[in-house]
Amino acid sequence: MIHFSDAQYILTHGSAPRGIGSWLFAFDGGEEPGCWFAYYGSFRNAKKAAEAEACERHSGLIEVLS
């Protein structure tokens, strides 16, 4: 099961992630660039792509970075 967190994004921006733009995700709390996943497009599609990437990496946590 994959847990998804947008708490850091909400604290930084004051609202939930949405819309079209560049999105950056971290897996399992990784602070190294190798633990990140970038996507350009709608947040909905970005989240789906990040979930697929998390499955490939056997990651249990996805965080939206600010």
In a domain, 66, yes or no: no
Compute the distance between CA of residue 56 and CA of residue 66 in angstroms, rounded to an integer.
Answer: 23
Give this prediction's pTM. 0.88
Q: Tell me: the pLDDT tens digits for 44-61? A: 999 999 999 999 999 999
User: Domain residues for 25?
Assistant: 3-61
CA distances from 35 to 15, 21, 29, 47 (A): 24, 20, 8, 16
In a domain, 9, yes or no: yes
Q: Which residues pair with 34 in a beta bridge?
A: none
> For the chain, how many structural domains are there in total?
1
In a domain, 42, yes or no: yes
Q: Tell me: the pLDDT tens digits for 14-36? A: 999 999 999 999 998 777 767 89
